[in-house]
Structure formats: structure tokens, C-alpha cells
Structure 1
């Protein structure tokens, strides 16, 4: 993990101490964390967008435009999972209550990759 930009669906206002959102597509914000050589270099939040038009791929496109190459989620449907895969963005299953818990799990190599067997229904 040399240089990565990781997104974590979060509650307002975002940041390391923010609570993680249980639903990536309906989160308030995405906390974006830049990591270089295993060290957090920058943390900022971007607002999620309404994805009624364009469906669940709208957040996928938003994060791809931000240069994100990984996202840590609690779960998601098959369509956004495939969208992230097609965009070259790795999807990790996160743990913990806060953004900081999740990013620490990634930095400690404790997170699993999300696969089709973990997708939520109804998406």
C-alpha cells in the first residue's frame, strides 16, 4: 500500500471521528483519506449526491471522479459492487463504529475484500 485514496461512507460532518454510515449510497458524506506508505496524509469529506436519477452508480461515479481507489463499506448491492470493480476501485468490508476504526483496520491489513457473496438484496 504505497499511495491510496480511500472513501468511507460517513455521517455528517465526516472525518476520522465520524460515525460510519450503514448504507453507502445514502450516507451524508464520504470521508476521503489519503494514505502514503501506510501513513494518513490528508482527511476531508465530500457530500454525497442524490442518486434517484442514475441509480446506485451515481456515488460510484462521484468517487471515481475524486480519484478514489478503495472504499470501505458495511455492505452494498451487486450493481454498485460491479460498478466499483469496473472503475478499478477496491471494495473492502469494514468494521468498527467510526471512520478511524475502519481505516485502522485497513492499515493493519485486517479487512476482507467484498465479493458477490456479501451483497445486500434489493439493490
Structure 2
């Protein structure tokens, strides 16, 4: 599994695209840019220390780059998604945000995404796992 052990052992801000109202019991949204909210999970010393939510920005011109900038402004360094297009995945890479895909192992709830990440169940998302924008995404 590809993960940054040092980051897992200290402090990390994790974001999970979520259905409203967000939080650990919310469902993981099926697509990054179209989520209602992002659940932000502050992880310290390998444990969930705090949970907050932030409303997603409008999915307008430029696609999903706006949400990436929002997450970057909140100090997010890791993202667990249900699905994502190539443009926001590249924007995350440019912003230094590591992206993991929960859909690939069938997770549904935000809390499962956080605990799965902490348990090392994810690998970094690859470009060939992104949505192509044709409505036939693997996670729908």
C-alpha cells in the first residue's frame, strides 16, 4: 500500500466528499465535484481527533478545480473519494493532496473511509481509475 507513514503518525487533515449533512455517519458521495459537503477529519497520532464539515462550492466553469482550492485552503492533505475526474485529480496532485478511492473496496460511510485509510487499506488512486466525463463512471 502506498501511504506516507510519517503523515499517518503525526497530524493529517483528511477530507471525504459526503452527502448532507456530512459527518462520520454520512454516506460517501459518489463523485467528488458534485458532493453536498466535505467532511473534514483531523487525525492526530493515528486517531480521529476532530470532525467538521464545509459546504462544497458550486460546480461551475472550470469543473472540480474550485473544490480542490477550497480543500487546500482548509489544510487538507489527503482525500478519500467515491469517484473523481482527471482534471480534479491533477489539481489535487498540483496542490499536494493525496487521493485514495473508497469505491474500489466498497466503502459507503465516511467513518469507514477514515478508519480504512488509517488501517492502510487504500492505495493511491491512479489516472486510469478516474471518470471520463461520459456518464459511465465505475462508481455510478
- Shorter chain as denominator, the TM-score bin is over 0.9
In structure 1, C-alpha distance between the alignment counterparts of 2:94 and 2:13, rounded to whole Å:
17
- Summarize deviations over 1:49-104 as a string: whole Å, max 9, x none: 10213321000101001110010012211110000000000001114111011111
- Corresponding residue for 1:107? 118
Which structure shows the higher strand fraction? 1
Structure 2 residue runs of 5 or longer lacking an equivalent are 1-7, 135-140
2: CA distance, partners of 1:74 / 1:53: 22
Contact persistence 2:33–2:63 (CA under 8 A)? no
TM-score (norm 1): 0.96
Runs of 4+ residues deviating >2 angstroms: none
- Whether 1:86 aligns to 2:86 is no
- TM-score, normalised relative to structure 2: 0.84
